[in-house]
Amino acid sequence: MKLSGIGSTPLSGVGTARWYRPESDLTLPEKPDPSEVDSDAEQERFETAQTTAREQIEQARQQAAERVGEDEAAVFEAHLQFLDDPQLVGDIESAMSEGTPAEHAVSDRFEEAIAQFEGMDGRMAERADDLRDIRDRLLRVLLDVETVDLSALPAGTVLLAERLTPSDTAGLDPDSVAGIATVTGGRTSHAAIIARSLAIPAVVGVGEVLNEIEEGADVLVNGDAGTVVVDPDEGERAAAGGVDAPVVEERVATADGKRIEVAANVGGEAELEPAAARGADGIGLFRTEFLFLDREAPPDESEQYEAITAALAAFPDDRVVVRTLDIGGDKAVPYLDLPDETNPFLGQRGIRLSLGTHSDLFETHLRALLRVAASEHGDELAVMFPMVTQIEEVESAIERVESVADDLESEGIDYAVPELGVMIETPAASYLADALAERLDFLSIGTNDLTQYVMAVDRENDAVADYHDPLHPAVLRAVDRTVSAAEGRDAWVGMCGEMAGDPDLTELLVGLGLDELSMSAVTVPAVKQQVQQTATDTARELAAEVLACETRAEVQTVLDGEEK
Amino acid sequence: MERIVEVVPEAGLHARPASKFVQTANRFDSEITVGRADGDDTVSASSMLAVTGLNIEHGERVRITAEGDDAEAALDELEALLTTPVEEDDESEAGDDA
């Protein structure tokens, strides 16, 4: 069984399913007749519950500050304010004085507030999670329910839940939790943010179908692909890093000596060190979105400068390819006031926003990048633009780079112009690969989006999931067309995307002529090992055979025939 | 006593700014309310629930009223809070509070 949701921490983990259903313990007793209720006693019970909850939140605040950081600890300050909110408390007290028991008063009033926030959109809806968190704390004290100790889960737990509250998540021990999957939630919920900060693989918003996973099942959480797999097979485990290949520190070449760079995709500072530890030859895709998501205002130039410098410092001798801001599509950034679009994946995304309505953001971004290029390891910096479909866009982007360079020059600030490239993720870019290679230093094929656009398939739509497969002949031919177009021109071609990290496909990709493969760090060792075992000429023959296939099934037959 | 103020912090009256606003309002003895300058959605500034419930964004104008001995001082502080762009150090904190 393979379920899909929203990958929220782009890491993978395999473990044993354990359900966390705290809400099931919080069933309220029957409401007694108001005349039987001692209002004063209820008032006292409520105050005790409030005091206990306050202590717990203080403790959670401290724990979050130590484990996650002051930023995330701040949410618990808001919790304290909600806990003492005069409106909430006032209504609860008046309900109790009219003969409602404390637990019912709390439950009713919070339900009302939760409903109010749930009706709103985006970050307002996430306040509902905060209120649930506080309500459950109060109810646990009032109903005398033991708090499930999430900080003491057995090692290798994949935690499954309807939803996790910020307190639940902050208390998790990253060493024992192999992954998290939840029925509801978005990638900007506090719980998702905390899971990311703790580097716990997480997939959220899987839907009701998650409930079909049985306690104790063997589960793989792939936060990069946004999937949850029950009883994963060897291939799926390997792709997710469940089977560890030995780390190869040095750069690798095929058996006959062709160098292939095996780099990592990195989506945040926490992933830098693990990527280096797994022997990645630099970063083939540095997603800058993390700098912009989960916050309320864009990062300024110096914050961007620091973050990108940190990436270069983690790989002092290797190239770091930074993708400029790729928002739009499914990535919501509340403060950017992006318009609601019927078809966001075909709307204002990536370079379209950077050259259009958000050119000021792009300018700050470029200033930071050009300054980094002049810093200590800056000569290893490369910058690529996402979602390109026209040569004019590349020309405008290059003009913007030049004008930012002029500005820095006249301000007397050190800068350098890094290697420039584009993502090949649309059919248009693949068709124009020759003209792009002519103007740029490199092309990087983003197979996830390329597959989506070549196959005209919504990545998020389960009903057409079979279409979203890079091994369809049309996608493979778009990859081949791109690589061939760059041949003889002075541009290297890489691939970043799920496909690059599948060790079963390494031989094919080498045969297709890619110079660089970039993937989730977990698969770097396995792919490096595969590269070393590949002979270029047999790989080329395999690629030629695969490219001759007309159907997905034929591709599979050829690939299966190759398996040793 | 009242004052009309434009909300400057990028986060609007959410997250950290809201939290600070309520904290500050609660320090004064005056009865303080807040709502949209051109709306009738006035609520008590002492309630986090009510204040965040207003869903006020950056750039909107709000009316703050205060009645009591320390009304003037309260309005001064609250105005300062809403008209100061969040400082760099604070910004990253407020940022992740989305």
Whether A296 sits inside 8 A of B55 (CB atoms) is no
Average pLDDT, chain A: 89
B2-84 CATH = 3.30.1340.10
Q: Is the pLDDT of residue A510 over 50?
A: yes
Report the distance separating Cα A197 and Cα A195, nearest Å. 5
What residues pair up with A229 in beta bridges, in sequence order?
A: A2, A220
At A554, list the tokens. 């034929």
Radius of gyration of chain B from its Cα atoms, rounded to whole angstroms = 12
Q: Is A135 annotated as a binding residue?
A: no
Residues of chain B contacting A86 with CB distance shorter than 8 Å:
44, 46-47
Report the distance separating Cα A65 and Cα A75, nearest Å. 10
CATH 3.50.30.10 for the A255-562 domain, yes or no: no
**pLDDT bucket at A390, cuts 50 / 70 / 90:** very high
Percentage above 70 pLDDT, chain A: 94
**Is residue A79 annotated as part of the catalytic site, yes or no?**
no
Residues of chain A contacting B93 with CB distance shorter than 8 Å:
70-71, 74
Q: What pLDDT shows up at residue A401?
A: 97
Higher-confidence residue: A148 or A258?
A258
Q: What pLDDT shows up at residue B91?
A: 37
The residue behind tokens 């589960």 is: A219
CA dihedral B22, B26, B29, B32 (to 10 degrees): 20
Neighbouring C-beta atoms of residue A279, cutoff 10 Å: 20
Q: What pLDDT shows up at residue A184?
A: 86
Q: What pLDDT shows up at residue A68?
A: 73
Q: What pLDDT shows up at residue A224?
A: 78
Q: Is the pLDDT of residue A418 over 70?
A: yes
**pLDDT bucket at B94, cuts 50 / 70 / 90:** very low
Q: What pLDDT shows up at residue A242?
A: 47
Q: Is the pLDDT of residue A192 over 90?
A: no
Q: Which of B12, B53, B96 sits opposite A295 (nearest CB)?
A: B96
Asked if A236 contacts A229 with a C-beta cutoff of 8 angstroms, the reply is yes
Q: What are the backbone angles phi and psi of residue A316, rounded to the nearest 5°? A: -60, -25
**pLDDT bucket at A402, cuts 50 / 70 / 90:** very high
Q: Is the pLDDT of residue B96 over 50?
A: no
Q: Is A343 annotated as a binding residue?
A: no
Neighbouring C-beta atoms of residue B16, cutoff 10 Å: 23
Q: What pLDDT shows up at residue A77?
A: 85
Q: What is the pLDDT of residues B17-29, one digit of tens each?
A: 888 899 899 999 9
Whether B94 sits inside 8 A of A70 (CB atoms) is no
Distance from the B19 Cα atom to the nearest Cα atom in chain A, whole angstroms = 6
Whether B23 sits inside 8 A of A127 (CB atoms) is no
CATH fold for the domain made of A150-237:
Glucose Oxidase; domain 1 (3.50.30)
Per-residue pLDDT, averaged over A546-554, amounts to: 96
Report the distance separating Cα A4 and Cα A382, nearest Å. 33
Per-residue pLDDT, averaged over A184-195, amounts to: 75
Distance from the B33 Cα atom to the nearest Cα atom in chain A, whole angstroms = 13
Query: 3-state class of A54 per DSSP?
Result: helix
DSSP state letters, A144-176: TPPPP-GGGPPTTEEEEES---HHHHHT--TTT
Q: Which of B53, B88, B92 sits opposite A116 (nearest CB)?
A: B53
Lowest pLDDT segment from A10-24, A427-441, A499-513, B38-52: A10-24
> What angle do helix axes B15-27 and A70-83 make, rounded to 10 degrees?
50
Lowest pLDDT segment from A220-224, A436-440, A550-554: A220-224
Q: Is the pLDDT of residue A530 over 90?
A: yes
- CA angle, A334 then A85 then A131, to 5°: 50
Q: Is A425 annotated as a binding residue?
A: yes
Q: Which of A74, A113, A335 sits opposite B16 (nearest CB)?
A: A74
**Is A78 part of the contact surface with chain B (CB cutoff 8 Å)?**
yes
Per-residue pLDDT, averaged over A15-40, amounts to: 86
Q: What pLDDT shows up at residue A29?
A: 87
**Is residue A377 annotated as part of the catalytic site, yes or no?**
no
Q: Is the pLDDT of residue A194 over 90?
A: no
Q: Which of A43-47, A63-67, A194-198 has the highest mean pLDDT?
A: A43-47
Strands across the sheet with B2-6, in order? B2-6, B61-67, B31-36, B43-44
Lowest pLDDT segment from A26-40, A238-252, A548-562: A238-252
**Is A87 part of the contact surface with chain B (CB cutoff 8 Å)?**
yes
Q: Is the pLDDT of residue B87 over 50?
A: no
Residues of chain B contacting A74 with CB distance shorter than 8 Å:
15-16, 19, 93-94, 96-97
A27-142 CATH = 1.10.274.10
Q: Scanning every residue of chain B, which has its alpha carbon at the shortest distance from the alpha carbon of A86?
A: B47
The ranges of chain A annotated as CATH 3.50.30.10 are: 150-237
Q: What pLDDT shows up at residue B90?
A: 40
Q: What pLDDT shows up at residue A130?
A: 87
Distance from the B71 Cα atom to the nearest Cα atom in chain A, whole angstroms = 20
Q: What pLDDT shows up at residue A122?
A: 63
**pLDDT bucket at A174, cuts 50 / 70 / 90:** confident
Q: How buried is B59 (Cβ within 10 angstroms: 0-12 exposed, 13-18 middle, 19+ buried)? A: exposed
- CB-side neighbour CA atoms (13 Å) of A410: 5
Q: Scanning every residue of chain A, which has its alpha carbon at the shortest distance from the alpha carbon of B46?
A: A86
Q: How many helices (H) and strands (E) does chain A have?
A: 21, 17
Per-residue pLDDT, averaged over A425-433, amounts to: 97
DSSP state of A328: B
Q: What pLDDT shows up at residue A294?
A: 67
- Which of the following is catalytic: A79, A190, A358, A468? A190
Report the distance separating Cα A404 and Cα A145, nearest Å. 60
- CA angle, A192 then A195 then A197, to 5°: 110
Report the distance separating Cα A296 and Cα A175, nearest Å. 31
**Is A86 part of the contact surface with chain B (CB cutoff 8 Å)?**
yes
**pLDDT bucket at B88, cuts 50 / 70 / 90:** very low
- Which of the following is catalytic: B14, B17, B75, B81? B14
Higher-confidence residue: A510 or A520?
A510
Q: What is the pLDDT of residues A148-161, one digit of tens each?
A: 678 778 888 999 99
Question: What amino acid is encoded at A216 in this protein?
Answer: G
Q: Is A287 annotated as a binding residue?
A: yes
Q: What pLDDT shows up at residue A521?
A: 81
Cα torsion angle, A165, A171, A173, A174, sign = positive
Please report the number of interchain residue pairs, chain A to chain B, with beta-carbon separation below 8 angstroms: 87
Residues of chain B contacting A188 with CB distance shorter than 8 Å:
98
Per-residue pLDDT, averaged over A545-549, amounts to: 97
Report the distance separating Cα A88 and Cα A103, nearest Å. 14
Q: Is the ipTM of this complex over 0.90?
A: no
Asked if A284 contacts A514 with a C-beta cutoff of 8 angstroms, the reply is no
Q: Is the pLDDT of residue A193 over 80?
A: no
